[in-house]
Structure 1
């Protein structure tokens, strides 16, 4: 399995990182993709290692960090993302949940990330909270045939998922999808598995039956089980398809 979105470098894992990674490997996780919160995330990623798991780094500025005053330029972001060991641009996106005061700043940052992703041919990783229409409008506007990426932690309606796929995005399926009464499973059941990848967003948003606990990469198996159930595939087939999707999206050889 692949965890395509995991903040394994976060302070929540400082005390038991080795044990967390051992559990991930035992669960069958062999790739972990690490999105950045800001550029300070990158040195922390360098400290992560495990014999049985391959780690992949991304570079970018999270939209809530924009609210806190973090900014970047196209040139600076390009400098980070053009490094050979950076496989994706982000996470970036929009988040209007906490405040709508910084909408224009977040949108400007998102467009910078889109431009760099297109220049480098690397996928963009998109955070979305209370901003679906605005986010998809910007991606549609920036799409020139060279932009690809993922709507991380997909929580949309069926028609929103279809629109995202149509404009070149994969859907990142994570913990919220497994929550009872969230309704995300109903949309996911009607959308094509060929455009989905698995993620945890650890240490956040642990899936059922671990909801409320610190999330970790091994918990991706619970999301895979639920996804197999709603899609009508076997667990093995679901893992095979989502793994292939993830490797193709990020340009990683199997």
Structure 2
């Protein structure tokens, strides 16, 4: 049983062959898929997903690259959605300095708003981070009152950054970048505790080797899991059980 904790199956990249993608995912052993939102329109799109062998879990949030389009973020709407039993996470949110640094102030305000909703609802916050690690961790440290939980989605940090994230109560999302030979993330993950790691694809993005450059899909979570098993020197079954348990613990799945 494999769990993909971060996947955007509702995007247009899957419009033409969604059923085939889901069938391949089930065949690969993927039984649970978590769906972070990018903006408000994500909600209605993800509610259309279904498959007899896969359980889907929704989240609500505004991606940092979408903040400018919807500013100011509607906190009341976010709280209302995240308070529902069928929404298990807040996000994705975070900071992204790669595409633009012209809206940093608003990104930070949005992130704080998401953290506030996460604390109020008791649900984890899903953190996007691109070229903003120090600011992101500093802000989370400022927001952490002992009740905030979450995950550093697509972890690509150093050993010290990973340790700091763990100390702040975060889990680390292990995705396709961990399979890239020259990324260096593999060596860091080898030192991180297995009980704080969860698997994710970020499909359709960040496709793992050997399919790098092509569209990502949830079935490839098996490749990420196999690579992590090699890094941790354990078998695939242990990785599947541990990372699924971690995901269920983080998101409150019974």
> TM-score band (shorter)?
over 0.9
Bigger shift: 227-236 or 63-72? 63-72
In structure 2, C-alpha distance between the alignment counterparts of 1:38 and 1:115, rounded to whole Å: 18
Q: How many residues align?
A: 253
User: Contact 2:203–2:218 at 8 Å: present in 1 too?
Assistant: yes
Partner-residue secondary structure (3-state), 2:34: strand
Per the TM alignment, residue 69 of structure 1 is displaced from its structure 2 partner at its CA by 4.5
In structure 1, C-alpha distance between the alignment counterparts of 2:222 and 2:212, rounded to whole Å: 14
Partner-residue secondary structure (3-state), 1:30: strand
Deviation string 1:200-229 (CA, Å, 9 cap, x unpaired) is 000001100111110000000000011011
Bigger shift: 14-23 or 66-75? 66-75
Question: Is residue 64 from structure 1 mapped to residue 65 from structure 2 by the alignment?
Answer: yes
Partner-residue secondary structure (3-state), 2:52: coil
User: Contact 2:176–2:209 at 8 Å: present in 1 too?
Assistant: yes
In structure 2, C-alpha distance between the alignment counterparts of 1:69 and 1:19, rounded to whole Å: 33
In structure 2, C-alpha distance between the alignment counterparts of 1:98 and 1:29, rounded to whole Å: 32
Partner-residue secondary structure (3-state), 1:172: strand
| Partner residue, 2:22 | 21
In structure 1, C-alpha distance between the alignment counterparts of 2:71 and 2:32, rounded to whole Å: 29
- Which runs of 5 or more residues in structure 1 are unaligned? none
Per the TM alignment, residue 70 of structure 1 is displaced from its structure 2 partner at its CA by 3.9
User: Contact 2:10–2:45 at 8 Å: present in 1 too?
Assistant: yes
User: Contact 2:67–2:73 at 8 Å: present in 1 too?
Assistant: no
Deviation string 1:65-109 (CA, Å, 9 cap, x unpaired) is 013344313222101211111000000000000111111000000
- Which runs of 5 or more residues in structure 2 are unaligned? none
Partner-residue secondary structure (3-state), 1:37: coil
Question: 1:1-254 residue pairs with structure 2 within 5 A?
Answer: 1-253=2-254
User: Contact 2:95–2:136 at 8 Å: present in 1 too?
Assistant: yes
Bigger shift: 118-127 or 74-83? 74-83
In structure 2, C-alpha distance between the alignment counterparts of 1:216 and 1:73, rounded to whole Å: 31
Partner-residue secondary structure (3-state), 1:126: strand
Per the TM alignment, residue 177 of structure 1 is displaced from its structure 2 partner at its CA by 1.0
Bigger shift: 214-223 or 68-77? 68-77
Displacement over 6 Å in runs of 4+:
none
CA RMSD of aligned residues (A): 0.8
